[in-house]
Amino acid sequence: MAGPFSLEGRHALVTGANTGIGQAIAVGLAEAGAKVICAGRRASDETVDLISQAGGTGSSVLVDFADPMAGNSLFDGQQIDILVNNAGIIRRDDAVDFSEADWDDVIDVNLKALFFTTQAFAKPVLARGGHASVVNIASLLSFQGGIRVPSYTASKHGVAGLTKLMANEWAAKGINVNAVAPGYIATNNTEALRGDPARNQAILDRIPAGRWGEASDIAGAAVYLCTPAARYVHGAILNVDGGWLAR
């Protein structure tokens, strides 16, 4: 008999699963028993291989979320029980110099695509009934202002708000909607920060855990929110940040 932390028999789709946090979450879901579809603008062959090595089942589909409506057909003809909205981009510049293109590009991927992909996921779930889970990837910048990332900060504040709104609308209809807010994680998105010695040290000095997080640190929290153990968790934003926000 499957336990409260098992995802046996569940089908998941993870966006941005070709690398970093998305890859770790996809592998974690598979290790918990889910069959995982890895969606991204680049092939997720490495992720699928890692899933296979872990004894799981995975597949890859190419979707470029620069088109906010690109996820609309992802759920046609197949039953998906779990959606993890991880795909995201970041652009850096001073607020006074920030371009409209950099604003629109980030908002389209991080916020608009997230909403309409989740809408496309929810429609068949609500029509057929049963239980499903959505996990959005928020950020410390869902709570803080950050520096030189205006569109990213705006998008992640929006992700936090949409997480709560969708939870309010769907909690009584069988869909759990929650978010994980990663702290400073060693991924491609933070390479510029880690490459700046002064900024890197300032970040480390602020983190009570004394280290940058790893993508695998996020996977456990995301997997938990998809399991029956989290069935009464709705609209939560779980900080996985080494204690950053507690400082």
Amino acid 79: pLDDT: 96
The rounded mean pLDDT for the chain is 97
pLDDT digits (tens, 9 = 90+) for 93-121: 999 999 999 999 999 999 999 999 999 99
Query: 34-45 in b/e burial notation, b at 16+ Cβ within 10 A?
Result: bbbbbbbbeebe
Using CB atoms within 10 Å of the CB of residue 201, give its burial: 0 to 12 exposed, 13 to 18 middle, 19+ buried. Answer: exposed
The residues annotated as belonging to the active site are 152
Domains of the chain: 11-246 (3.40.50.720)
Give the pLDDT band (50/70/90) at residue 172.
Answer: very high
Handedness of CA 67, 68, 69, 72 (dihedral sign): positive
pLDDT for 189 equals 77
Confidence label for 1 from pLDDT (cuts 50, 70 and 90): low
As a whole-number percent, the residues of the chain with pLDDT over 70 amount to 100
At which residue do the structure tokens 């496309």 appear? 120
**Rounded Cα–Cα distance for residues 152 and 122 (Å):** 25
Could you tell me the pTM of the whole model?
0.96
Residue 208 in contact with residue 244, Cβ under 8 Å?
yes
**Which residues pair with residue 213 across a beta bridge?**
185
Check residue 190 and give its pLDDT. 87
pLDDT of residue 188: 82
What would the pLDDT profile of 82-94 be if each residue is shown by its tens digit? 999 999 999 999 9
* Token pair 């699963």 in the structure block, residue: 17
* pLDDT > 70? residue 236: yes
pLDDT higher than threshold 60 for residue 176: yes
The whole-number average pLDDT for the span 49-65 is 97
Mean pLDDT over 1-25 rounds to 94
Does residue 223 surpass a pLDDT of 90? Answer: yes
Give pLDDT tens digits for 136-153: 999 999 999 999 999 999
Q: Please check the confidence at residue 219 and state whether its pLDDT lies above 80.
A: yes
